[in-house]
Amino acid sequence: MNAVADMRQGKGLASDPDWWRGAVIYQIYPRSFQDANGDGIGDLLGIVERMPYIASLGVDAIWISPFFTSPMKDFGYDVSDYCDVDPMFGTLADFDVLIDTAHRFGLRVMIDLVLSHTSDQHPWFEQSRASRTNDKADWYVWADPKPDGTVPNNWLSVFGGSAWHWDARREQYYLHNFLISQPDLNFHNPDVQDALCDVARFWLDRGVDGFRLDTINFYVHDAQLRDNPALPPEDRNESIAPRVNPYNHQLHLYSKNQPDNLAFLAKFRAVMEQYDSIAAVGEVGDAQLGLEILGQYTRGDAGVHMCYAFEFLAKEKLTAARVGEVLSKVDEVAAEGWACWAFSNHDVMRHVTRWGLTPAAQRAVVTLIMCLRGSVCLYQGEELGLAEADVDFEDLQDPYGIEFWPEFKGRDGCRTPMVWQSDNLNGGFSNARPWLPVSTDHLHHSVEAQEHAPEALLHHYRRAIAFRETHKALAKGALEGLRVNGDVVSFRRVQEGQEIFFALNMSEAPGVADWPDGSWVQIGAELNSAGPGLDGHVHLGPWQPAIALKT
C-alpha cells in the first residue's frame, strides 16, 4: 500500500486526503469514448489515447463506468468477474497503463463498482443457485413462494415488473432490483460483505484513487421481506423511472434504504482508509428520499465521502425556484454531508435536451454548477453541448428502452459515441461501425471543430472549471445567504477569509439582483459576469451571472 502511495506521488499526485472535496470529476462511458482497436466499441487504450484532451479540461479526476468481465446484458453493470477486464475493453495490463498515464497527467482515477448485484453468470450465483446447502447458498436473496406459488412480496424492479424471478433449480424466487439477469447479493451475509471489500482492495492495490458506487442505497434489503406501501399519484416522481413504469407506484420503504446499509458503508470506508488519499462517491437512487439519504451516507467519517441524488438529473425544469428548493433542502437534511452535483450522466437524457437549453443557458448552467457547494461530475460530451441523440428502434441496445418503447426510448440517446472530428462518418470515434450510431447532429459539435472556435462551449467549460479551481471558496467553502427573487437565484460562498457573491438570471428576460452590502469587486468577466449598476443593483441579461469578490 505504501508503494502505491509512493507511485502516485512520484507521478505528480500529492498526498491529499481532502482532494475530493470540491473536485471536478469527468465521467467516461468507455464503450462510447474512443475505440483504439477498431472493433466499434470503445476501450481502455482509447481512454489512454485521449488523456491529453481530458487533462486539458482542467478536471481533477475521471470516473470510468464498468469495464469488468460481463455478458453485457446491462452493458457492464452486470458483472461476472469483479477482478478482471472484459476482453472488449482490453486487459489488466491496459488498465495499468491507463492508471499510469492518468497519474502522469495529474488525474486521479475512480472506477465504477456495482456491488448491489452481479450477473447471473457470476460464479458466485452459479454456485448459489445450484442448491440450498452449498457454501454460497445464502450469498443472494432467495425466498420461498407464497402458499399459492406467487412471489414473496410486492417489490418491483426498476426495469419493470416484479423484482422476483423463479429459479427451478432451488424452487425458490431470487430478488433482482434491475434485470432478471442481475440477481441481488445478500448483504445480511458477512461473507458477502468481506468478498466485496476484497474487490475494493484488489483495485486499490492496482492504484485506483477511489470509487463511484452504483445504486448505493440498494445494498441491504428488509430481512422480513415486508411489502412496500403504495405511493399516491400526486407523490410520484419520474426522476428514477419513467412515468409508464409501475415502479413509480410504490414507496420503496423495504426494498432499499435500510438502516443496516450504514454499517456496511462504515466497513467499506475502513478499507479505503487503509490507503492514501482515497475517496468514494455514491449514487443515491431514490425519488422521494434522495437528499435525506445523501445526508445520512456522507455525514461524519464512517460513510462515503460524497453522494449524488437525482434532483438535478430529473426531468423537472431547472429554474431559480428549483435551485433554491434543492439547496434549501440540502441545508436542512445534509448540511454536515457533501453533495456531488451532476446535470447529465449515462442513465438520463442529456440536459441540453431535457431542459431545452439555449446556447446562453448552456453556458450559464455550467457556471452555476461550478459555483455550488459540493463536488461536480461532468459527463463526456456535455462540454461540447451534445443534445440527446435520436436512436431508431432498430439500433437500440438498451433493454430498458426496448421494454418501454416508444413512450420511453431508454438510455441509448445519451450513450452514443463521443465526436472528435466533424469530417469523419464516425466522428473520429472508430474506423469500424460503432456499437451505437454516431448522431449526424453531433458531428457539428466535435472537439476538433470547437478547439478552433474561441466562442465555443468547450472553452467556456474550461474557463468555468479553471475559475472554480482558482477560488478556494468555490471549491470547498460554505454556502450562505441563499435567495430567490423571481428568476434570479443568488448566494455567497465563504472559505477562510474569502467570500464570493454569485447571482444568476435563469430566464430569457432581463433580471435584477441586489448587490450585497460591503465592499466588493466584480470578477468572472471571462464567464460573462455582470457588475453593479449606478442604482446599486445588478442588472442581468438573459441567463447572465454576476460574480463578485469581497474586498
**Residues annotated catalytic, as ranges:** 214, 283
Task: Give the list of residues 6+ apart from residue 303 with CB closer than 8 angstroms, or none.
Answer: 262, 265, 266, 269, 296, 297
Which amino acid makes up residue 36? A
Q: Which three cell numbers stand for residue 397?
A: 441496445
Among residues 358, 364, 357, which one has the least CA distance to residue 463? 364
CA 129 to centroid of chain Cα atoms: 32
In 74-226, alpha helices (H): 92-104, 123-128, 190-205
Q: To 10 degrees, the CA torsion angle through 27, 29, 34, 40?
A: -170
Q: Please list the helix, strand and coil fractions of the chain in percent, rounded to the nearest 5, in that order.
A: 30, 20, 50
d(CA 185, CA 188): 9
Q: Please, what is the angle between helix 290-298 and helix 320-333, to 10°?
A: 40
Q: 390 phi and psi, to 5 degrees? A: -95, 110
CB 51 within 8 A of CB 107: yes
Pairing mode, strands 545-550 and 498-505: antiparallel
Q: 481 phi and psi, to 5 degrees? A: 65, 35
DSSP character string of 390-434: ---GGG---HHHHHHTTT---SGGGSSPP---SSSTTTTS-SS--
DSSP character string of 171-191: TEEEE-SS-TTSPBB-TTSHH
d(CA 500, CA 419): 36
Name the residue with cell 454569485.
502
Q: How many CB atoms lie within 10 A of CB 481?
A: 13
